[in-house]
Amino acid sequence: MSASGIAAGQVEHMLRQVTPGRYDAYEALLRALATPNSGQIWMLLWHGQSGSPDAQYGNMEVDGHGYAPCVTSAQELSASGWNRSYEVVDGLDVARTLYPDHFGLWLNPHAPGGGVGIPWLDLRRIATGLDRQPAGPLRLSEPGIEIPHFYALLAQNAHRTPAVRALRRAWVQPALGAPYLAIGLDVYDTSPPAVDSVRAMMQQSIGAVPDGLPVSTVAMSDEYDPVAMWMRASARPFYDREAHAAQAPAAGYGYPPVQGGF
């Protein structure tokens, strides 16, 4: 069997295990696609030829979301009846290409049952590292655990860290793995010294977290992170430097400012 045949067999084997609710099987499929030189797929080209500058993937829309269709082997390509060009590429490379445009990947749409769609959020996980991002679909909510000392200490340390604009929080329950507390970091400056100061702020505060409670951070500037997107839409800051400054009493001992002058 050729190397491409082995790759196709791995992806197709994982694909056959995926059924509704089987998040473990779905994660295994993502891992197969993410493995360099072992997660090859056959991308269907709507326009152009493989390797040409004008090559353009096909596209399909499902529930208002865009996907690029592909097949998982030469046999599936034949079964699909596709009569235009195609290109064989690593799933990792396709993920890096598609997710910034909020496009997902649809495997074997011609198959009985319609194949399997991989949303762009999961392509992002493939592109950036599956273990670095929680497995979706995520359940996101306001944290219900009461840890006021940690929040107060973190806000105090944030106020002493000029790079921090605001802090948000969310309770994240992944499809697989333990739930955790996420702290959203909204910063003015992403230079290395600023990043180091924010990291030091978290290290100075994390000791107030109860034992056994996982805590993670997310950059609020990350427009592709689902936790950051939820925080921007649904979570008010529990520390906001600019709101804090606006509430500070003005100088003048309560007298109105003098208008005009001599």
13-54 pLDDT, tens digit per residue, is: 899 999 888 999 999 999 999 988 778 899 999 988 887 788
Tokens of 191: 């230079």
The reply to whether CATH 3.30.300 applies to domain 139-247 is: yes
**Letter string b/e over residues 223-259, b meaning 16 or more CB atoms within 10 A of that residue's CB:** ebbbbbbbbeeebebbbbbeeeeeeeeeeeeeeeeee
- Cα–Cα nearest to 28, from 43, 7, 11: 11
- Choose among 259, 66, 231, 248: nearest CA to 159: 248
Q: pLDDT at position 67, please?
A: 97
- Give the whole-number percent of the chain exceeding pLDDT 90: 74
CA distance 223 to 39: 27
Token pair listed for 194:
């600023």
Q: What is the pLDDT of residue 243?
A: 82
CATH of domain 3-132: 3.40.1350.90
**Long-range pairs, 149-155, Cβ under 8 A, ≥24:** 149/208, 150/205, 150/208, 150/209, 151/238, 153/204, 153/205, 153/208, 154/183, 154/201, 154/202, 154/205, 154/208, 154/239, 155/238, 155/239
For the segment 184-226, what is each residue's pLDDT rounded down to a tens digit? Answer: 999 999 999 999 999 999 999 999 999 999 999 999 999 999 9
pLDDT score of 91 more than 60: yes
Domain ranges of the chain: 3-132, 139-247
Q: Which two tokens stand for residue 246?
A: 């606006």
